[in-house]
Amino acid sequence: MIHITSLDDGLETFKALGSDTRIQILNILLENEQMSMNQLATELNISNGALTGHIKKLEECGLINISNESAGHGNQKMCSVTQDRIIVDIKKPIDYKNVFETEIKVGQFSRHQVWPTCGIATSESVIGEFDDIRYFNHPDRFTANILWFTKGYVEYTIPNLIPSNQRITQLSISAELSSEAPGIDNNWPSDISFYINDTKIGMWTSPGDFGDVHGMFTPQWWPQNWNQYGLLKLLVINDYGTYIDGLKISDVSTLSLHLDYSSDIHLRLAVENDSEHVGGITLYGKSFGNRSDESCRGNDRGEYVGRCYCTAPLSCHRRTGIGLSV
């Protein structure tokens, strides 16, 4: 998902989409999942040189990914779409003087209850053994960059740093998520539920556990038949309800949650045993998946996967950021 927070910020993306040929390229890649440059040029009946310019514009906007794969006597460039949707905010952007930002690490959960298949890993190695829930308590979990389980939950404490006597008017949470299948399976739905302070605020069905291509930032030592990447999801709770990627999923609001400067805030991600699709969850952090980008992490090091924003009224005049990472 690409989240464009103002029309000016989205100008390059709009230009990239303002071409019939580039729209054709995206449609062809969506139908075929992945194609080489030569195959695309043949399908479009244009030269490789002409295609290169179109591909460059789409890649610069983060709409497609280019990877090199060995083929016969050399390498060929393979193209695939990396986004599932584009959200554009037309209204005036949030006044960031009144936004308090926190970033939470994958392994920094405060509570958990998980069932195999499951595991947890850093960018360098798996922590402990697969399918052994004891390693979710291992001290090295605080450096974890990916975790997965079939059912259960992980819960994170979000630091509440807004000034005294202020009310939280919006809570925005972003994370890269997918299902957890035995091996990998792009068609493996899973109902992932979200809770704030034990109140269920909504549910999203992950379409699969993606492994058709290597994750853009997934380490090279990570086997191809393991979870590779997820989908970037933006969860927003405001005074009007709860939204995921701009679509309303419940009437639970910041008003009904009674969130203010004194509130403890606990975020739970769960796959419940009585769901229609019990297909697990994978949570991607630093060094895994496709989202090292500024659009979800806010720095140029690709350091964070998850961000939490607390928005207070206009009387707040400072911004507090804590680097934690999901």
With H, G, I as helix, E, B as strand and everything else as coil, classify residue 28: helix
Q: Are residues 175 and 100 in the same domain?
A: yes
Rounded average pLDDT over 47-65? 92
Res. 137: pLDDT tops 70 = yes
DSSP symbol at 163: P
Q: Which residues have a Cβ under 8 Å from the Cβ of 90 and sit 6 or more positions away?
A: 7
Inside any domain, residue 89: no
pLDDT at 192: 98
pLDDT in tens, 140-164: 999 999 999 999 999 999 999 888 8
Sign of dihedral through CA atoms 257, 197, 259, 105? negative
Amino acid letter at 297? Answer: R
- The verdict on 156 and 75 lying in the same domain is no
DSSP label of 162: P
Domain boundary among 54, 81, 108: 81
pLDDT at 296 over 50: no
Say if 162 falls within a structural domain: yes
Q: Are 6 and 51 found together in one domain?
A: yes
Q: What CATH code is carried by the domain that includes residue 150?
A: 2.60.120
Confidence of residue 92 (pLDDT cuts 50, 70, 90): low
| pLDDT score for 72 | 66
Instruction: State the SS3 of 217-246.
Output: CCCCCCCCCCCCECEEEEEEEECCEEEECC
Q: What is the CATH number of the domain that holds 58?
A: 1.10.10.10
Whether the upstream peptide bond of residue 117 has omega within 30° of 0, thus cis, is yes
Taking the whole predicted model, whether its pTM rises above 0.85 is answered as no
- Which has more confidence, 166 or 98? 166
Residue 68 has pLDDT above 90, yes or no: no
Question: Within a 13 Å sphere around the CA of 211, how many CA atoms are in the beta-carbon half?
Answer: 17
Range of the domain at 290: 94-323
Give kind and range of the element (H or E) at residue 177. Answer: strand 170-178
Using the 3D structure, point to which of 81, 107, 135 is the last residue of a domain. 81
For residue 268, which of 247, 278, 283 has the smallest C-alpha distance? 283
- Distances in whole angstroms, Cα of residue 104 to Cα of each of 33, 145, 159, 324: 32, 11, 9, 4
Domain boundary among 32, 53, 81: 81
| Co-location of 16 and 47 in the same domain | yes
With tokens 């910041």, the residue in question is 254
201 and 57 in a common domain: no
- Count CB-CB contacts under 10 A for residue 4: 18
C-alpha R_g of the chain: 20
For 179, the 3-state DSSP assignment is coil
Q: For residue 281, list its beta bridge partners.
A: 149
- The Cα 243–Cα 234 span in angstroms is 8
The count of domains in the chain is 2
User: Is there a contact between 4 and 89 (Cβ–Cβ < 8 Å)?
Assistant: yes
Q: Please answer whether residues 144 and 120 qualify as being in contact, where contact means their C-beta atoms are separated by less than 8 angstroms.
A: yes
Is the pLDDT score of 322 beyond 60?
no
Answer whether 245's CB lies under 8 Å from 87's CB: yes
